[in-house]
Structure 1
């Protein structure tokens, strides 16, 4: 089929590569979010999907809104049979949805109807799900509610960060998305409407969502930090300044007050509502990430000081 691929972040790259390497489908162009400021210099930077498309000499469409008339006209000129989508990051109006014969087929990183929305992987980790997965479905106007073509499942491992889990799902999901489009092309695959029950939502994660609440039980602290790793990064305050926190491990045997720090020779502990957690890496403002023991020695943590 003639396809226009839509996606933006690195998680979409395995799927784009799968279509570029396929003998059955022709990638006509790529749709991605506009170049955005990045890095310390805040220079405009191409999205990962846009950069890969540039490497392959593909046309890159970067509409500010998918309803822009110029974009819609160009999409009609390209006349794709299908538009595979992975984390494009913008709403698609009905005028765009109507252009490809076989619609826009989205790879979503959850087992729908669970965790519809922008942050399904973070939600699965934070919620303590034991199993998650990915689904391919036809995009409709209602958020992530379209009929489903295919599903895969993936265990959430005890120490998975959202980044770890997303890496696995993006690779396995690329194969699912490609096989879905294959099945649509040869007529062997028909979508099934989503169940009306079991619907849950995972809205976009903000930096405020990533603040660690040490008055929660240790398991909740652990899950939150892993869910926010690597993006946007879990954080707390120490002496009134924000510090980012890497994944922690749970410690048995004694109690500390919520947020209370205990510095030992080879580890730094922080109290929670239940057992303490052992801090992993810590990143103070303007500093590089470092082991918690190095951070604690550098700031000279005093007895009774806390993360809040």
Structure 2
């Protein structure tokens, strides 16, 4: 009997990787929104695993306790549990990380680990997510093919705090490298772009490039702060 699987993701960067490997396979089911992930749907599919690469919503314990739910965290846990891992890693000077597939439990990012993959933190957030997408699929295939038993995390626990939109502001005290990292690590869909407030206007930055050691170029968007209300 063939096993069934659910791939639940709310981000576009995952879709191409999913479609290239699983689309058309009757054993795989794609879910894009929490409204689709109903108890009735899950019970009908009866998945061996539910994979959650970049899912925006809390998954109820009624699901995580009954099914094998796997999330993907962009940190080498137990280092980097918590929110905004990509941004927290870059702001701490990391050039690479581990993409970790772990079992979802009651405590956030504390579940046992199925597998990890190396991931470069070069480029914009969009580029990093696009680079991570095929690695997510590779980890999924490794879990499914080898029926991996997850292992408990070992080492010192380091928690990351979820970043707030206010932390996207470019400050006078920042040097060129810090400004470059701030702009690129926020350059992805749904993220609050790096900005400078100038009077009644906000200036947002994206597509940053380091032309020289002390020279950056970027795309700029200027709008009235009234638009934020």
Partner of 2:119: 154
Gaps of 5+ in 1: 35-60, 64-70, 253-275, 287-308
Q: Secondary structure at the match of 1:92?
A: coil
TM-score normalized with structure 1 length: 0.63
70, 73, 78: which one pairs with 2:40? 73
SS at structure 2 position matched to 1:135: strand
Unpaired runs of 5+ residues, structure 2, are 225-229
Seen in structure 2, the aligned counterparts of structure 1 residues 162 and 237 have a Cα distance that, compared at 3 Å, is same
Cα distance in 1 for partners of 2:130, 2:109 equals 21
The match for 1:62 among 36, 39, 42 is 36
- What is the CA RMSD across the aligned residues, in angstroms? 2.6
Q: Give 3-state SS (helix, strand or coil) of 1:172's partner.
A: helix
Superposition misfits of 4+ residues, deviation over 6 angstroms: none
- The structure with the largest strand share of the pair is 2
Q: How many angstroms apart in 2 are the aligned matches of 1:222 and 1:95? A: 43
Distance 1:82 1:93 in 2: 15
Indicate yes or no: 2:127 matched with 1:164. Answer: yes
Question: Structure 2 length normalisation: TM-score?
Answer: 0.82
Deviation at 1:243, TM superposition (A): 0.7
1:213 is displaced (CA, Å) by: 0.9
Which has the bigger relative contact order, CA under 8 A and spacing at least 6? Answer: 2
**Displacement of 1:139 after TM fit?**
0.8
- Does the Cα contact within 8 Å between 2:205 and 2:221 map onto a contact in 1? yes
Q: Shift in Å at residue 21 of structure 1?
A: 4.9
The equivalent of 1:26 in structure 2 is: 27
**1:230-249 matches, cutoff 5 A:** 230=188, 231-246=191-206, 247=208, 249=210
Conserved? CA contact 2:81–2:157, under 8 Å: no
Greater Rg, structure 1 or structure 2?
Answer: 1
Alignment match, 2:227: none
- Which residue of 1 is the match for residue 50 of structure 2? 83
